[in-house]
Amino acid sequence: MQQSPGRFYYLDNLRAFAMLSGVLFHAALAYSPKAQGFWLSADPQQHALFDVFAWASHLFRMPLFFFLAGFFTALLWQKAGGVAFAKNRLLRVALPLLLFLPLLTLAMHGVLQFGLATVQQPSALLQLIKPMLTAEAPAELPLSTMHLWFLYHLLFFYVLTYCARTLLSDALQARLLALPPWLLLLLLVLLLLPPLSLVPAPVPAPEWIFPALWALWFYGLFFACGYVVFRHADALSRYSADRRVLLGLGAISYLVFYQLLPADLRAQQPQGWTKLLIIVCEASGALCWTLAALLYGQRYLNRSNPVLRYLSGVSYWVYLVHIPLLFLVQFGMTDLLWPAGVKFLVAVLVTLSGCLLSFHLLVKPTLLGKIVAPAAARV
């Protein structure tokens, strides 16, 4: 891996695929049997394959995001300095958060009203919300950052980076990287266990307005790993020969993790040794699959072509706006007797089409387009 401040194509491409796969993940939850009790657009048509896919992607997609964010934080800081870094992050992260959070909140309120008025077989969560919103004096729903929690927590990581640059010294980084690769991997798994022990499995989205300390710890470790990998070119390459092993260990971890999850994720979580085994598998699966994604991305995605550049350019916009449109489409199909697979495919295609159409018609020609899809877009 080169440390020059040029483009790391495979990381740009991984970021784009991870963002776009969020549409698949959120769409799959509507047809996931385990998510029926808490997902707003949960559908009567379900299939266990959506569980397998959803929770597998959930295991490493957000850790990968934070790893990439940490890597590009180090890159941008080295390339432009602290002041330029702060200006860039305010423009690319803070501004979209401040702009889109109220807009998406309003959009979701409208989508909820549509769902309440039209869906005859509402999800458990929609039934719970209905009396709150249809009362003579409607209750205010708790303030949430929704899926923008990623941007919200990134702002805290940027501030913490300022503080930790002296603590996370090059000497400390070098001592850690001097450990044998698999011992370092084991140490990271152990460091991931405490925050996972504080929350149910799979890890919930820390979307409330108060930052979640467990999330700052859990995702902060991946952010720090990304930061260190940029600073030390050989840190990731030490695992290159073992990418198949990492992929296999992640798969075994996920298989055990999935088997131990309760059938209904609202049910009481396992305790004791079962809980410990769950979080060990969750931590090892997240770490192994994140590393495997990086290594396979480096092997097969370290290139640029028109399709990959296009996906990289639109992925941030799709991430920002897809949730209200996805819920609207899924609410419209809830009472249809179509198979779950057909509903999933329709929901994904219509949502992606709507996001891309809005990008080209409303965003690309404007100043907003330069913010969410600049020439060298990096989050």
- pLDDT score, position 136: 66
CB 88 within 8 A of CB 378: no
Task: Indicate whether 138 pLDDT > 90.
Answer: no
Coil, helix or strand at residue 102: helix
Task: Indicate whether 19 pLDDT > 60.
Answer: yes
CB 201 within 8 A of CB 278: yes
DSSP string, 30-60: TT-GGGTTT-TT--S---HHHHHHHHHHHHH
Average pLDDT over residues 247-253: 98
- pLDDT score, position 70: 95
Task: Indicate whether 245 pLDDT > 90.
Answer: yes
Task: Indicate whether 378 pLDDT > 60.
Answer: no
Sequence spans of domains, the chain: 9-372
- pLDDT score, position 3: 40
Q: What is d(CA 107, CA 220) in angstroms, rounded to the nearest whole number?
A: 31
Q: What is d(CA 182, CA 185) in angstroms, rounded to the nearest whole number?
A: 5
- pLDDT score, position 176: 86
- pLDDT score, position 94: 96
% of the chain with per-residue pLDDT over 90: 75
Instruction: Give the number of other Cβ atoms within 10 Å of residue 114's Cβ.
Output: 14
Task: Indicate whether 5 pLDDT > 80.
Answer: no
The more confident residue out of 256 and 370 is 256
Residue position matching structure tokens 């930061």: 227
Q: How far out from the chain centre does Cα 139 lie?
A: 30
Task: Indicate whether 164 pLDDT > 50.
Answer: yes
Task: Indicate whether 326 pLDDT > 70.
Answer: yes
- pLDDT score, position 307: 94
What's the chain's average pLDDT?
91
Q: What is d(CA 275, CA 200) in angstroms, rounded to the nearest whole number?
A: 9
Kindly indicate the confidence band of residue 170, based on its pLDDT and cuts at 50, 70 and 90. Answer: confident
Task: Indicate whether 255 pLDDT > 70.
Answer: yes
- pLDDT score, position 205: 92
| pTM of structure | 0.93
Task: Indicate whether 111 pLDDT > 90.
Answer: yes
Task: Indicate whether 376 pLDDT > 60.
Answer: no
List of residues 6+ apart from 180 with CB closer than 8 A? none
- pLDDT score, position 4: 43
Task: Indicate whether 141 pLDDT > 80.
Answer: no
- pLDDT score, position 177: 87
Q: Where are the alpha helices (DSSP H) in 81-94?
A: 82-89
Kindly indicate the confidence band of residue 129, based on its pLDDT and cuts at 50, 70 and 90. Answer: confident
- pLDDT score, position 374: 65
- pLDDT score, position 126: 92
Element (H, E) at 191: helix 181-197
Kindly indicate the confidence band of residue 1, based on its pLDDT and cuts at 50, 70 and 90. Answer: very low
% of the chain with per-residue pLDDT over 70: 93
Sign of the alpha-carbon dihedral angle for 226, 319, 145, 341: negative
Give how far Cα 159 sits from Cα of 153, 154, 283, 339, Å: 10, 9, 25, 47
